[in-house]
Copies of this chain bind each other. A is one copy, B any other.
Amino acid sequence: MNIGDVAARSGIPPKTIRYYEDIGLVTPPRDTNGYRVFRETDMHKLAFMGRARALGFTIENCRNLLALWEDKERASADVRNIAKEHLAQIETKIADLNAMRDTLKTLVSSCSGDNRPECPILNNLATIANG
């Protein structure tokens, strides 16, 4: 399989696949013409990457998960810990965004949004500490 086929099948753009090779996540051999030749295992790894990234795991997380995935002796606790920590980070991020949203929503609804210059949003940004 050439890079284009893998890209189509995995949903990961060719550029990104090359980048993943650069950072050592996949190591497809080369054909005599220099083209990368992707095996089924490479394909699987990339699909795995796509799903893990879609769940917001960092590249380093993915690297660890891939290693665990390939390690038939791994303890599921190791995987679970990575996922749990990631889950905690996501929840923190959600909480932060919720706070932002609430503040913004209040500001937006307090602003008349007409042609007058009076604007509570700017007033707030200018003077009041956000909580």
Contacts and interface: CB of A to CB of B under 8 A. Distances in A.
Interface of A: 44, 47-48, 51-52, 54-56, 65, 68-69, 71-77, 79-81, 83-84, 86-87, 90-91, 93-94, 97-98, 100-101, 103-105, 107-108, 111-119, 121-122, 124-126, 128-130
Main secondary structure of the interface of A (DSSP, over half): helix
A79 B105 CA distance: 13
A116 B76 contact: yes
A71 B65 CA distance: 52
Contacts of A83: 104, 107-108, 111, 121
A130 B54 contact: yes
Contact of A94 (B56, B101, B113): B101
Contacts of A74: 117, 119
A108 B105 CA distance: 33
Contact of A77 (B71, B93, B104, B115): B115
Contacts of A101: 87, 90-91, 94
B113 A76 contact: yes
B76 A112 contact: yes
A122 B20 CA distance: 20
